[in-house]
Amino acid sequence: MALAPTVSQVSLDDDCRLVRLSPETLQLVADFFKVLSESSRLQIVCALKTGQKNVTEIIEATGLGQANVSKHLKILAQAGVVKRQQQGVCVYYQIANGFVFELCELVCDSLSVQIQQQSEQIAHLGAFRQS
């Protein structure tokens, strides 16, 4: 599994599409990240990784309350992260675009590297203090 380059590994000359975006478009990007910045919404996204579910199934998978799940599903749907489909009397939710999982995995991989580096630094400091 290839790890994403850290900030220090990325040259400032690398082409970043963000610098070419208008402030309004950057706000849309920021708003999208805000939607994913809430742990309950991430739980719901993870619950939907295996496929579409109705609210009851999402509640069972996440342990969140019905009102909480409904509120967050509405936000996720408005942001285009999930889509809803009526099937008889039930509404089923599914991920609208699988790139959300790629994004989450990228963030998790990056955090894992950071934690590993911090652990190594702490171990090095501990060894230094003992000598």
Higher pLDDT, 118 or 9: 118
pTM for the model? 0.74
Residue 8 lies in a domain: no
Higher pLDDT, 127 or 113: 113
Residue 38 lies in a domain: yes
Write down the pLDDT at residue 73. 98
Domain check: are 115 and 54 in the same one? Answer: no
Residue 2 lies in a domain: no
Q: Which residues pair with 94 in a beta bridge?
A: 83
Q: ∠ at Cα 83 (87, 79), nearest 5°?
A: 155
Residue 15 lies in a domain: no
Domain check: are 88 and 125 in the same one? Answer: no
Domain check: are 70 and 116 in the same one? Answer: no
**Domain, as residue range, for 115:** 98-131
How many domains, in total, are found in the chain? 2
- Read out DSSP for 51-103? S-EEHHHHHHHH---HHHHHHHHHHHHHTTSEEEEEETTEEEEEES-THHHHH
Q: Each residue of 75-110: pLDDT tens digit?
A: 999 999 999 999 999 999 999 998 998 998 998 888
